[in-house]
A and B are shown apart, each in its own frame.
Chain A
Amino acid sequence: MSVPFYVAPEQLVRDKAEFARKGIARGRSIVAIEFDSGILLLAENVSRALQKISEVYDRIAFAGVGRYNEFETLRKAGIRQADLMGYLYSRVDVTAMGLATGFSQTLGQIFSHEPKPFEVEVLICEVDSDSDGNRLFKITYDGTLYDQRGVAAIGGKGETLEQALRAGYREDMTLEDAIELGVSAFRESEGRESEGWEAAVLDRENGRRAFRRIQVGEAAP
């Protein structure tokens, strides 16, 4: 039996992190922006069939970047968790906080225990009856959980996108303004026009199921 070479834990974690970051950087980014009656999720996506944004529960949405099969696995796990909790207890007991913790634990465990980490970043958003209760959680490949306010961005260009969003963000902007901000942030950070949009809103005016897909071309001013 051959003895494996010793690799320092720091080195191992650094290698895994670098590997995951490279994978994520290849994909296109997604932003989330709060507006007066909800939260906008905007992704650059050329495919009409493969979606990155999804409904998870009444007031909760999911968005994922990176390797499709991996964030799709996470998306389904989130929906399963939410539907199970809502059915076993009550619909109001399903919260973004609880789900985000679940994603964080799952990704953290995969990062430290599996030979290959997930090359994904995910966003979990929840709209509440007033903006103070809105939640934007960003979870990275290693399970780190970020609690964001106002705007959030994931993906290879996440950091520059978030800077661009922060620069133009105001509280209580309209959906049209939020879309305009998102589109211009993408233009600024990518240095080109988008080839296609996938967009959805969590709008508290929509009734029990707040999630709606929207067409950016039509909704934009």
Chain B
Amino acid sequence: MSGPFGQTLPIGAPLPGSSFTDLLQSVGAAPRWEVSDSAATSLSIPEGTTVLAIRFADGVVMAGDRRATEGHLVAHRYIQKVFAADGHSAVAIAGTAGIAVEMVRLFQVELEHYEKIEGTVLSLEGKANFLARLVRNQLPMAFQGLVVVPLFAGYDLHERRGRLFTYDVVGGRYEEHDFGATGSGSRLAKSYLRTVFRPDLTADEAVGQAVSALVAAADDDTATGGPDLIRGILPNVMVIDGEGVREADEEAVAGTARTALEARR
């Protein structure tokens, strides 16, 4: 295994402090491209669609559908858009799938890298701010139509509560109080969540409402893939609380998906 420095280890002055993103740049491994004058709209590039997060009494639930579209076509049926970022936070993505998935991978390595180098975990606020920087780095691409908008949620170990953040294209970071969503079906999902949100929801109830909100979004937004019980495609759902981040019980997700779909009979 010889790294970017040949046989010896990356040691010495030009290296950055504790940021992995800066390290990638310093060794010339970060992408640098000339942005063309024409927009990238003529390319067919998979787009991720609806992801959402909702707070409950002890934390946050985050959920995303499994579809990626290329124009009017379904590009991927099983794409994953909700990821654990580290032990106590999760990140979800909407927009240009290829860039977004890579951004998540970089974000995950960044958080772990900081933790190992500094010997301590970044604060939730610090993680949210760093993600904003990653989004902002994409700004020239956003003008080309290659937009990535994440959603970030985690359990704040200092304040002992779940928190969630939405972003915009330019890297604006907004803390949401109750719920948030991004992607093509986000308005529909938010309309649904607005009618059912209570601050005292339990984790199970929040999982149920998150799945129902995706079903509601998929009802009217063709780019959002609802649960497909025939193919066994279920939303990705993460629960984040004081104990950490974990995937929601698949049986429970399937159950609520079935109930939400039955209600439309």
A residues near B, CB below 8 A? 51, 54-56, 73-74, 76-81, 83-88, 93-95, 97-99, 101-103, 105-106, 109
- Among the 9-residue stretches B39-47, B89-97, B106-114, B229-237, the one with 4 or more Cβ atoms under 8 Å from chain A is B106-114
B22-41 at interface with A (beta carbon < 8 Å): 23-24, 27, 29
Task: Determine if B117 and A76 form an interchain contact, defined as CB atoms under 8 angstroms apart.
Answer: yes
Measured between beta carbons, the chain B residues less than 8 angstroms from A99 are 1
Main SS class of interface, A: helix
Is the Cβ of B9 less than 8 Å from the Cβ of A80? yes
Instruction: List 20 additional contacts besides A79-B113, A98-B1; criterion CB under 8 Å.
Output: A74-B9, A76-B117, A77-B10, A79-B117, A81-B3, A81-B9, A81-B10, A83-B23, A84-B10, A84-B29, A85-B3, A87-B105, A97-B1, A101-B1, A102-B8, A102-B9, A105-B8, A105-B9, A106-B9, A109-B8
B20, CB-defined interface residue at 8 Å: yes
Interface of B is mostly: loop
Contacts of B113 in A (CB 8 A): 79-80, 83
Chain B residues engaging chain A, CB cutoff 8 angstroms: 1-5, 7-11, 15, 20, 23-24, 27, 29, 105-106, 109, 112-113, 116-117, 119
On whether A84 and B3 interact (CB within 8 A), knowing A73-B11, A77-B9, the answer reads yes
Distance of A73 Cα from B8 Cα, bound (Å): 13
* Bound Cα distance A38, B117 (Å): 23
**Residues of A with C-beta under 8 A to B119:** 51, 54
7 tightest CB-CB pairs across the interface, nearest first?
A: A98-B1, A77-B9, A77-B11, A105-B7, A106-B8, A102-B9, A80-B10
Do B20 and A83 touch across chains, with their CB atoms under 8 A apart?
Answer: yes
A101 to B5 Cα, complex, angstroms? 13
Given contact pairs A54-B116, A80-B23, A84-B3, A74 touches B11 in the complex (Cβ within 8 A) = yes
Q: List 8 A-B contacts (CB under 8 A).
A: A55-B116, A78-B9, A81-B9, A84-B3, A93-B1, A101-B1, A102-B7, A105-B7
